[in-house]
Amino acid sequence: MIVTIPKEINDGETRVAVTPSTVKEMVKAGLTVQIESGAGEGSFISDDDFTNAGAEIVNYSDKLYQNTDIILKVIAPTNKEISLYNDKVTVISFLQTTRELDTVNNLLNKSITGFSMHLIPRTTLAQKMDALSSQANIAGYKSVLIAASKLGIYMPLLMTAAGTIRPAKVLILGAGVAGLQAIATAKRLGSQVEAFDVRPVVKEQVESLGAKFIEVESGSEDGVGEGGYAKETTDDYKQKQQELIQERISLADAVITTALIPGKPAPILIPKSMVEKMKPGSVIMDLAAENGGNCVLTQKDKVVEFNQVTIDGTSNIPGTMPVHATELYAKNICAFLLYMINDGKINIDLDDEIISGSLFTFDGKITHEPTLELIQSKKE
């Protein structure tokens, strides 16, 4: 079977879906790997690096996908790319199926088998395939560094001849993978860190990293959803949550927001009124910008200033660390692909939890229920 890796064409995308190391693994598994010339440039991987690993380098043309069986990508394919794909080819990418419905329909119209790395189940067996976590880890780490670079103050406590410099106060909203990494990074930089999450079960993890866990007093697991993800909370909880965040955000120098609800727009945690009460010179890094943002003033892929507060809506923070972002993503997608390869051929076992869970189009049908429901509702 032929596996094709094209150069990512989205603005600012530096990652690529393979590395020389994962190319070797695919070739060893009996796959033929062809890579578009220049695909690795953004991650500092040359065509020669890929050739030496056993890949064939192909110049871009309408024939790039002519004989391919499987296409590996980072970002979801564009309509132009899909128009060049063969019918019934298999495509694996970082597609958000419930947000990119037109892309899902375009893949469906060509009977393309679509897998999303966004949908990989969070199970022990699938850990090495969990691209969402590997990229979120990078986003959490780098967001703190970006915030620090925008602040006009030191992050750590400093004792100087001129006096004592107080440490920066950092507030993390959402203690998932990105939030926990943000906590760890901010603590390593010497900041005072507080963290909030609707899931009380993460308190121990937050405190183990040296941060203070701030929580809404509630008698239930109000914010815990399926698979340990956050879920929509009650109106009463939201009111208490807003009061708590407003109290803490007014003291913060940097705020990192990471709150997401699977299949839905990001919850608004920071209304305009809260930003108005923040310190002049403070910074908000909104890691939920791609899904609408946790701050009402966030603009995707823009840095805005409001009331002397900087709000950064960069949506592809992993792309600012292309070497490690590519290394991790390539390992994730390679592990997933090889999980389905048997004797050099792809075996799509619909009874397998990992395969069926990440599959969204197959045999001319949408197999991911939440995506199907959204598409049907659009037709009504």
Q: What is the DSSP letter of 77?
A: P
10 Å CB burial of residue 133 (0-12, 13-18, 19+) is middle
Residue type, 301: D
What is the Cα–Cα distance from 97 to 93, expressed in whole angstroms?
A: 11
Q: Which of 37, 49, 111, 133 is catalytic?
A: 133
- Catalytic site includes residue 47: no
Residue 93's beta-bridge partner residues? 116
Cα–Cα distance, 4 to 90 (Å, whole number)? 10
Helix count (H) and strand count (E) of the chain?
A: 12, 19
Q: Are 180 and 213 in contact (CB under 8 A)?
A: no
351 is catalytic: no
Question: Catalytic: 130?
Answer: yes
For residue 46, indicate whether it is catalytic: no
Please enumerate in sequence order all residues whose Cβ is within 8 A of that of 128, keeping only pairs 6 or more positions apart, or say none.
331, 332, 335
Q: Hey, which residues does 163 pair with through a beta bridge?
A: 160
The active-site residue, picked from 46, 66, 83, 127, is: 127
| Dihedral (CA of 156, 158, 163, 164) sign | positive
Closest CA to 94 of 365, 336, 284, 270: 336
- Selecting among 130, 222, 286, 312, the annotated active-site residue is 130
Q: Choose the catalytic residue: 229, 242, 246, 356.
A: 229
Out of 122, 154, 188, 250, which one is annotated catalytic? 122
Cβ pair 67, 2 in contact under 8 A: yes
Neighbours of 227 (CB within 10 A): 9
Nearest CA-CA partner of 94 in 378, 325, 345: 325
Examine the residue annotation and report whether 229 is marked as an active-site residue of this protein. Answer: yes
Any bridge partners for residue 365, and if so which? 362
Q: Any bridge partners for residue 193, and if so which?
A: 170
Q: Active-site residue numbers?
A: 122, 127, 130, 133, 229
